[in-house]
Amino acid sequence: MKAKTLGLTILLLAAVPGLSLASEKVVHLPFDSAVAAATQSGKLDGSVKFFLDGHRPAGAKVVNDNVTISRKTNAFGKKDQESCDWVLQGILISLQGDAKRVGANAVIDIVSNYNNTEYRDAHDYECHRGFLMSGVALKAKFAKIKP
């Protein structure tokens, strides 16, 4: 009986890593809607503006041109957009604080950069969605822009 229980336990433990990778997929979701939701909910205060690559405001003066950040969050039982927007909002909150600390009021030239592979899009960000976790990674620049 103990051997049967031990065998079943080993089998289940061996299957768990496979489950976490089984449904790994890449999704592209609208960046502006996640920013708007974070601003409306009060997570972002509006003092720092966010611009995807290709939407650089005129006269932007770069303060830091080497900003990278990545985060993951629990995705179990959540829809793609829900978990991906949640992790993106966490990143935006961090970027807002970091930008303020260096005297910037904008995050510009934002590109997705998961596993150091860039994804550039004028409207969407890239999220990697697995069975248990969702992850977003960004590369950007901090800048000063005219209000």
Q: What is the pLDDT of residue 2?
A: 61
Phi-psi region of 10 (alpha: psi -120 to 50; beta: other; left: phi over 0): alpha
Count the Cβ atoms, other than its own, within 10 Å of residue 143.
24
Cα gap 141→98, rounded to integer Å:
11
Q: What is the pLDDT of residue 3?
A: 55
What φ, ψ does residue 42 adopt, rounded to 5°?
90, 5
What φ, ψ does residue 46 adopt, rounded to 5°?
85, -5
> What structural domains does the chain harbor?
24-144 (3.30.110)
What are the residue ranges in the chain where pLDDT is below 50? 6-9, 11-16, 18-22
What pTM does this model have? 0.83
